[in-house]
């Protein structure tokens, strides 16, 4: 069994962003040389997320609006906000999830129709990392 590790780095222009990282993950699978296995993709920060869904801008806008209703931004509205203003980002990340695992079949990500991998940023404008870990043969 082989393993491969790669990090992606993001520094978003906005506080909240959803970025399609499918191409980056596919590139890592090619670099790994693994034909059959699994690919873990996870956000390495507690205010960011990795998830799979449709690559449709209206859906991404719906996500951000829905998350803002669930956990609105507030400088003083969260117990966590002691010296920080990102209590909402921690909650948004919890809802959207930390990671995804994708099967690799024939050297390709084994997706269903319309599926793509996204990085969700909820406390941006600073350096953040995403880990890609691939294992298989």
Residue 76, pLDDT score? 79
Rounded-to-integer distance, Cα 17 and Cα 104, Å: 27
> How high is the pLDDT of residue 33?
98
Region 7-15 average pLDDT: 97
pLDDT value of residue 75: 81
Using one digit for the tens of pLDDT, what is the confidence trace for 92-104? 999 999 999 999 9
Residue 81 has pLDDT above 80, yes or no: no
* Three-state SS sequence of the chain: CEEEEEEEEECCCCCCEEEECHHHHHHHHHHHCCCCEEEEEEECCCCEEEEEEECCHHHHHHHHHHHHHHCCCCCCCCCCCCCCCCHHHHHHHHHHCCEEEEEEECCEECCCCCEEEEEEECCCCCCEEEEEEEEEC
Give per-residue pLDDT as tens, 59-79.
Answer: 999 999 999 999 999 887 888
Residue that is written with structure tokens 């921690």 in the block: 90
Query: Which pLDDT value is given to residue 13?
Result: 97
∠ CA 123-45-16 to the nearest 5 degrees?
25
pLDDT of residue 131: 98
Q: What angle do CA 130, 122, 72 make, to 5 degrees?
A: 160
Spatial separation of the C-alpha atoms in residues 93 and 8, rounded to whole Å: 18
Domains, the chain: 2-59+97-136 (2.60.120.460)
């Amino acid at each position: 069994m082989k393993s491969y590790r790669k990090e992606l780095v993001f520094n978003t222009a906005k506080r909240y962003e959803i970025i399609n990282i499918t191409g980056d993950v596919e590139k890592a699978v090619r670099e790994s040389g693994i034909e059959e296995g699994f690919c873990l993709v996870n956000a390495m920060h507690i205010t960011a997320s990795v998830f799979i869904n449709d690559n449709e801008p209206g859906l991404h806008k719906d996500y951000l609006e829905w998350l803002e209703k669930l956990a609105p931004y507030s400088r003083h509205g969260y117990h966590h906000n002691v010296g920080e203003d990102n209590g909402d980002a921690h909650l948004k990340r919890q809802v959207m999830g930390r990671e995804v695992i994708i099967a690799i079949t024939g050297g390709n990500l084994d997706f269903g129709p319309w599926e793509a991998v996204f990085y969700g940023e909820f406390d941006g404008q600073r350096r953040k990392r995403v880990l890609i870990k691939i294992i298989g043969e």
